[in-house]
Each structure stands twice: as C-alpha cells, then as structure tokens.
Amino acid sequence: MHSDPTDQRPDKPEEACGIYAVLAPGEPVANLTYFGLYSLQHRGQESAGIAVFDAGHKVRLHKDMGLVSQVFDQDVLERLVGDLAVGHNRYSTTGSSKVCNAQPVVLMTRLGPCALAHNGNLVNAAELRLELADIASELTSTTDSELIAFAIQQAVNGGRDWDGAIRHAASRCRGAFSLVIGTPQGLFALRDGHGIRPLVFGHIGDLADAQWVVSSESCGLDIIGAVFDGDVEPGEIIHFRAGDPLPERSSWCVEEAKLCIFEMIYFARPDSRFFGESLYSYRVRIGEALARETPVAADIVIGVPDSGIPAAIGYSQASGIPFGDGLIKNRYVGRTFIQPTQAMREAGIRVKLNPLPDVLAGKRVVVIDDSIVRGTTSRKLVQALRDAGALEVHMRISSPPVTHPCFYGIDTDTQDQLIAARLSLAEISSHLGVDSLAYLSQQGMVEAAQANSSHFCTACFDGSYPIEMDEQVRSSKLMLEPSGIAASVLLHR
Ligand code: SF4
C-alpha cells in the first residue's frame, strides 16, 4: 500500500462540528458563546459563527472562515448585543469549505427569525433537497444544515408554531442531527432519535434565574462556570424560555440510543462528561483492557499525544511497564498551517510530533494510539521512534480496526482508503514497520464504557449502520464487498 506523497490530509477521523447556545437576558451572551465555541474548537476548525437575538425579533450574525480566535475580536463581540446567542464551529463533511456554508443558518419566517446550528450529517439530504424544490432557488449553501432550517421555515410559514414546525422538520430528516435553534419564543435543543452526536445542557447562576446553556460537550459548560444539568436525550426536544426555570422536555421520536463510540475514544475532549464521568477515565480503562488483551514484554509505554495519553497510562497501570513521555507535540499546528513539501519531509521535518531520544534510546517501546485510519502518520511515527533509538516498537491501538466509513458526520474517508479494510494485520504491521501490532477488541471497547453495550454506534468497526442509507449514499463511500474486507477485522488480536 503506497501513500500519496502529495496527500496532506490529516490521518485521523475529523469531527464535523461543535454547537453552542446561551439564553441569558442581561448577560453578555455573545462573549459567553465565544468562550463556549473556543472550548469546542477541537470539533471544527474551518469556520465559526455566532447569531444573537436582540429583543426577540432582530438577529445580528457574524460568521467567517477560521478559528474562533481569528473570526471574533472584542469589537465584533460588542456589536453582537442581545439575550440569546447561537454559535457554531464547522469542519465540512457535507458541502465544501466556503464561508457560505458556515453556520449558524439564519432565516426569516412568518413568526420572525430563526437561527440554527447543526452537528451531524443527514443521509437523506438529496431527497430533502428535492422535496424542498420550490424554495431551492433561495438555498445559499450546499449544506444539509440549511435544508433543516428551510424545512422549519416551510413548516412555520405553513401555519405551525415553532415547536410543531421543528418536530415536523425533524421528522423529515434521516441521519445524525444535534441541533440548537434560536427563535423569538426562546431556545430549542434537539437530538436525533439515536442521539448519535452528543448534546448537553446546564444553567448559569441560580436556577430560578433561568439562564440556559446548551453545548455539544460538557467542557463548554465548564469554561463559563455553568452547572451541568444533563444530556439532551436521544429523540428529545427541549424548549428553554427566558424567565422560565423549568424547561419543557418531551420526546419527538423514540428509537434505540446509538451514541457514536468514536466520540468517547477520540473526538470529544477528555474532560467532557459522558455517562456520569469524564472521558479521561474511560480512556484509561480502554488502555487497561488493551494491556490485558494484548500483553507484550517492553521497557516503556508511551502515548501519541494528546488522545493516546490516557490509554497509555491505563496500559502502563495494568501491565506494570513504566509510562514515559516519549513524544512531544506542537499544539499550534492548525488546519491552515502551510504544510512542508515531500522533500522537506524526507529531509526530516517533523511538524507535529518530535520523539525524545533520551527517553526512547535502547528501549523496547509500546506506543499507544487511539486509531489508525489510512496509516500514513503511523508509519512515519514508527520510523521517527526508531530514529530516536527505540530497540523495538510495539504498536497498540485503543480501538478496533476501522474498516467502514462514517455517514453520520465524521469524515473517515472512503472505504478504499482505510488501511484495515484492505490489508491483513500482518500486512499492516509490515507496512508500518512495527515489531508487533494489536488492536483493542470491540467487546473491550464497549465494556469499558460501563453503559448499555447496545447503545453505541460502532459501524466504522463492524459495518452495523443504525440508520439505513439509500444505495447512492452507501456507494459514495462503501466500495468493498464484505468478503473483500481484510482479515484484520477477524485477526486483530
Ligand atoms: S460510523 Fe463510526 S464515526 Fe460514524 S457515528 Fe458510527 S461509530 Fe461514530
């Protein structure tokens, strides 16, 4: 398997979006949303936006390409005056990387404006686009998120109230969608029936003040000192109103919960809470499970920063092999960073990770990473560890082999690009140049969550897609017959 030397894409699944909203009359809602989006920056780095409702009927919007800190400054935030803000960080999975595709989407309706921010991906976007053909000329973007907003607008203009319109629009959507929607009647938060993407809510100040915050992850509540109140449940819609200390919670549909387990392994921040604990604890446990399942004689355990570190600590604790910092990461390499040429790479330029020879030389090294997607980065990493003097390199992966693409809001490439879909375990080991390679079992990954094991989407590891796609959508990314998928799936122990 040869990697394309001109291929500059990151060798990790890419998160699609972070969403955030604050309903807090009298508070600087745009500034609070800015900090919330800043804490969710890992979920999307291409564009950012905030829409603010002033006195219900006027909306000010600012969105642009870039990181949150590049898109907003104090002058911009001071102009975004109001009592309800909706914010969004984007990394494109549907629609191209252009400012017209940045969110929130703001539309005018019979009942006033609405501002919508979406995390996820619809699998029936083409169908929905056809159904909305009469307003297609008004579509300004190529995103599925705008289609949801137009479906809400159509339902409102057809006579429904906000709650009815949002439920009606949601029922026309198939796929993953966590939404925050600002309206003149307050803030709505909603998750698709499977709850594939996370969404939590909390409050600031006294509960009686009814100042609400909704965030993709709980780290977005912590950053502004908000109190965590709970998850927006799969299939739930919550209506928050200014001055009302009890939000109105109800189901809009009932399906089996299927949270994306990759959120737990890699995407979400380790300080975000899932199932009553921080993800850091879960990631330590999957490292422990990995050590029990795939032991190896070695002198040191290191993690690939940042997401491989907790699992490396867990592996060390369970195996008794000392943990060390063997790789230093430059934390300031953004998506817009000018990448070195292939010649520069060959000359030894290491932009993101640098190994520490003092720690690694003469040692048998276990290196823990959270996933292997295409394998291009892992191969370079192994060579760098050897160059730093590692005697042996044993790679351990704290998730099963990624053999299937994601259709629900994560960019995992087409199936033919996924190394574990094409090569056997032995072939991957030899491609990466490791002394040994092993993955965590699916059972180990799910059991470590200490939650109902059927309540996860694990499709990128086993192809069990919880939401059906039509043939055109499937064949856009799934190109291998099940019989053609490499034996690494079966042989990963
Ligand atoms: S297919 Fe994979 S990345 Fe996509 S939602 Fe399911 S577990 Fe998550």
CB 221 within 8 A of CB 419: no
* Residue-level pLDDT at 482: 63
* Residue-level pLDDT at 2: 40
Q: Is 91 in the pocket of ligand 1 (CB under 6 A)?
A: no
In a domain, 385, yes or no: yes
In a domain, 269, yes or no: no
Average pLDDT for residues 315-326, to the nearest whole number?
A: 97
- Residue 7: band (very low, low, confident or very high) from pLDDT cuts 50, 70, 90: very low
CB 31 within 8 A of CB 58: no
CATH of the domain at 218: 3.60.20.10
* Pick from 21, 346, 407, 298: nearest CA to 180: 21
**pLDDT above 70 coverage of the chain, percent:** 88
In a domain, 99, yes or no: yes
Q: Look at 59-73, 168-182, 313-327, 369-383 and tell me which has the smallest mean pLDDT.
A: 369-383
Same-domain pairing of 377 and 476: yes
Return the higher-pLDDT residue of 283 and 349: 283
In a domain, 416, yes or no: yes
In a domain, 5, yes or no: no
Q: Is 373 in the pocket of ligand 1 (CB under 6 A)?
A: no
CB 9 within 8 A of CB 418: no
Please say if 17 is a catalytic residue.
Answer: yes
Where a domain ends, among 225, 242, 257? 257
The HSE-up count of residue 387 (CA atoms within 13 Å, CB side) is: 12
Query: What is the 461 CA–ligand 1 centroid distance (Å)?
Result: 8
Residue 73 has pLDDT above 50, yes or no: yes
β 364-369/392-397 pair status: parallel
Same-domain pairing of 210 and 74: yes
Query: Residue 343 is inside which H or E element, if any?
Result: helix 342-346
Average pLDDT for residues 410-438, to the nearest whole number?
A: 91
Average pLDDT for residues 280-301, to the nearest whole number?
A: 98
Same-domain pairing of 175 and 287: no
In a domain, 340, yes or no: no
In a domain, 37, yes or no: yes
Query: What is the 262 CA–ligand 1 centroid distance (Å)?
Result: 6
In a domain, 450, yes or no: yes
Same-domain pairing of 314 and 440: yes
Domain count for the chain: 2
Residue 274 has pLDDT above 90, yes or no: yes
Token pair of 305, please?
Answer: 């920063």
Same-domain pairing of 240 and 135: yes
CATH of the domain at 449: 3.40.50.2020
Nearest Cα residue to atom 5 of ligand 1: 260
Where a domain ends, among 222, 257, 292? 257
Separation between Cα atoms, residue 428 and residue 481, nearest integer Å: 20
Residue 304's domain comprises 280-330+347-489
Same-domain pairing of 178 and 300: no
Nearest Cα residue to atom 2 of ligand 1: 460
* Residue-level pLDDT at 6: 41
* Residue-level pLDDT at 307: 86
Same-domain pairing of 196 and 304: no
Q: Is 406 in the pocket of ligand 1 (CB under 6 A)?
A: yes
Strands (E), 334-449: 353-355, 364-369, 392-397, 436-439
Same-domain pairing of 392 and 246: no
Q: Is 261 in the pocket of ligand 1 (CB under 6 A)?
A: yes
